[in-house]
Amino acid sequence: KINWYRKIIPNFAHIAAPLHKVTNKTKAHRHEFTWGPEQQVAFNEFKNLLTTYPLFLEYPDLSTTFVLTTDASEIGIGGILRQDTITGTKINYFKSRVLNDTERKYDTIEREALAIYWCLTELRSYIGDSDIIIETDHEPLQNFHKKQINNKRIINWIFKLQDILPEIIAVKYRNGSNNTAADYISRHFPSSNVISNSTILAEQTDDWSVGTEQWFEDLPKPQRLRFATSFINTTNSTINAVTTGVKAKLIAQSVPPTSAESSTTTPQSSAPSPTSEYLPFDFSLSRIRFEQEQDPVIQQIIQNLYHKSDKRNFILKNNVLYKLVSRGLTDIKVIYAPSKLIPEILLSHHDHPLSGHFGVEHTWFLLKKKYYWLHMRTMITSYIKSCEQCSKYNVDRHKPPGFLQPIEPPADVFQILGMDWWGPAQTSINGNRYILVITDRLSGYVFATASPTNTAQDTARILLEEVILVHGSPDIAITDQGTHFNNELLQSITNLIGCKHIFSTPYHPQTNGQTERWNSTFVTQLAKFFNDDHNNWDTYLPSIVYAYNNSVHHSSGFTPYQLAFGRRPHHPFDPARSTFYLKKPHDYWAQIIKYRSIALKQAKDNIIHQQLLSKQRFDKNRSHPIYHINDLVWMKIFSNRTKFDARYTGPVRIVRVLSPVSYIVEDPDLRQFQVHSNNIKRVYPR
């Protein structure tokens, strides 16, 4: 596993070459392994380095400009990524590799350009959007990314680096005598007999480290040039390469070609066309200068600069207006974006595939180092909020919106009941697979009955036999919208007994939260008594229900049994009573009434207090959008959705407000749905 240290051991490939020579054998020559003095010396040197050498690199400082020094030789290329700070030179990374047979035939300028291209490609994760200066000992490559190049191979490399070109401040010439570090690692390779085996060596990506030696002299602070001339305008071959791809895509989609294909150098002040997402954006200085000349706000600022009446840190250079803005500890110069370019800038830095439809912070981070305009962040936020693709596909990382709406506890027990079916479970010995759970809203008293099926007939039978015929009919029943509850049979029963049937909002189980909470509790307790076959769960169900009803609830301060029946039950494990007190029925009734009235009042006060505390915790750092009739919203998709499908559909229109968090929406096909506010989000027009 010595290769793990490749990037932080200087001259790794050179030291390891004798080991590679005897280990990098093809299958046919694997028997040729030998271990001689050369291999032993390399092995001992690695042991010495791993036990004595300070193996570390420096973390990059994103507020400091990167410097990439590259070099190429006849056999290899390499580069050193560093930062020159007030405390000295920080070495961030080192890259090098051997040239393959084809690359060794390149001209000198091509090998030197390849070193720059390969190092930039490999070190993208370090460089990111930070400024960078490139140093090369090949003078013709000075600022080659801004000049007209006739070499097609180099043009192709520059084209692949288009997204990072604006971050390159300059490509500087560094005399070979001052470029010893990069020159050394591009040449210092193993003996010729190993190098000639290019098939093996080309597969190795050698990372070399220079340690912490101070090999570099201090560099003067460069002038920041934020925008290089657009590479698209440098050569006809590049333009043809881009427009050919565009034509192919347009033909495939049967879209007529636009005039933008024939000319990308003429400034255009019109808004982007519908097919602009397939076309190269022209953000060259000539285009920006042209648009600034048409912008009255920018022209007024320029006039003020001439009269020295504007002191807001504006700079006019080559007839292009820049703004000095504070970014960290320093001021940087960014282009003042003309108003007609702003839509293209936002489109290219958000909607374009190279920008990836990322969020506000990511887009703001990209743009703030390049452009400036009034209310820039607000406009970016508004633009991304109005993005249809982001609205449909993005995952919301914030708390779901909508404040908690507690249901006030009723005045007496068995007035409001919540019902829910749990299952299916493994078929028990008695043939049961489901459990109908009924909970009392005030006391928390639970009825749980096992059943082989969960049909509407089962629901009606259990409700009648276990609750209504024993404890009387409730005033309100709360259920979900499943077919076992939402049916004519149950509707007839509730109408007959004068019970109001309330359905919870779809995909919002908190409406019937007390019942849902019991479901999660009893499963855990019941599982502790399972046999090996897990088919005796309904045998222990009544015992678990009994234990639950005789446990104190934190919210009320009483057991459900106490509140339901006005007394504590005699537990089977309690000692037998030695004496009995016989009271007259009316005296006992008076005592029960007195006790229950006190207990119920105290329980209700406790529940309200706990609801208030829960609401405060729930509502903290949570938004509470208010929607009105005819508002357009996106509605969350819950079923028949794959990984790549949209998370929201719509827009749909709000047609009725049921509560501060519950609404009826209507889709374009006039279908209506009940939704909770945490399953919809507002449509922002663009």
Print the domain residue range for 26.
2-52
What is the reported pTM? Answer: 0.47
Average pLDDT over residues 189-205: 35
Tell me how many domains the chain contains. 4
Encode pLDDT of 236-281 as tens digits.
333 333 333 333 333 334 333 333 333 333 334 334 443 334 345 7
Residues 459 and 588 in one domain: yes
Encode pLDDT of 118-173 as tens digits.
999 988 888 877 889 999 988 888 888 887 788 889 988 988 888 788 888 888 88
CA distance 503 to 290: 63
pLDDT at 35 over 60: yes
User: Which DSSP helix (H) or strand (E) runs through 434?
Assistant: strand 434-440
pLDDT at 651 over 80: yes
pLDDT band at residue 67 under the 50/70/90 scheme: very high
> How would you class 680 by CB atoms within 10 Å of its CB: exposed for 0-12, middle for 13-18, buried for 19 or more?
buried
Residues 650 and 542 in one domain: no
CA distance 608 to 624: 22
- Let me know if residue 71 belongs to a domain: no
- Let me know if residue 223 belongs to a domain: no
Encode pLDDT of 210-230 as tens digits.
333 333 333 333 333 333 333
Residues 381 and 421 in one domain: no
Residues 445-484 as b/e (b if ≥16 CB within 10 A, e otherwise) read: bbbbbbbeebbbebbbebbeeebbeebebbbbbbbbeeeb
CA distance 209 to 91: 9
Residues 366 and 504 in one domain: no
At 168 the three-state DSSP class reads strand
Residues 482 and 528 in one domain: yes
Task: Return the pLDDT at 434.
Answer: 92
Residues 378 and 428 in one domain: no
- Let me know if residue 235 belongs to a domain: no
- Let me know if residue 472 belongs to a domain: yes
pLDDT at 198 over 60: no
Residues 673 and 585 in one domain: no
Residues 324/305, Cβ–Cβ less than 8 Å: no
Encode pLDDT of 567-585 as tens digits.
788 777 777 766 666 666 6
Encode pLDDT of 271-328 as tens digits.
444 333 434 577 888 888 888 888 998 888 888 887 776 656 888 888 888 888 876 6
Residues 431 and 554 in one domain: yes
Residues 71/78, Cβ–Cβ less than 8 Å: yes
Residues 273 and 375 in one domain: yes
What is the length of the chain? 686
Task: Return the pLDDT at 352.
Answer: 83
Q: Beta strand 434-440 with 446-451: parallel, antiparallel or unpaired?
A: antiparallel
- Residues sharing a CB contact under 8 Å with residue 60, sequence separation 6 or more, in sequence order: 66, 83, 90, 92, 126, 130
Residues 294 and 437 in one domain: no
- Check residue 583 and give left, alpha or beta (phi > 0: left; psi -120 to 50: alpha): beta
Residues 428 and 570 in one domain: yes
CA distance 343 to 189: 52
- Let me know if residue 555 belongs to a domain: yes
- Residues sharing a CB contact under 8 Å with residue 187, sequence separation 6 or more, in sequence order: 73, 75, 76
Q: Beta strand 371-372 with 330-336: parallel, antiparallel or unpaired?
A: parallel
Task: Return the pLDDT at 304.
Answer: 82
Question: Which CATH number fits the domain that encloses residue 666?
Answer: 2.30.30.140
Query: 30-39, 381-390, 556-565: lowest mean pLDDT where?
Result: 30-39
pLDDT at 96 over 90: no
Average pLDDT over residues 481-489: 85
- Let me know if residue 362 belongs to a domain: yes
- Let me know if residue 470 belongs to a domain: yes
Residues 265 and 319 in one domain: yes
- Let me know if residue 476 belongs to a domain: yes
Residue 185, phi then psi, degrees to nearest 5: -75, -15
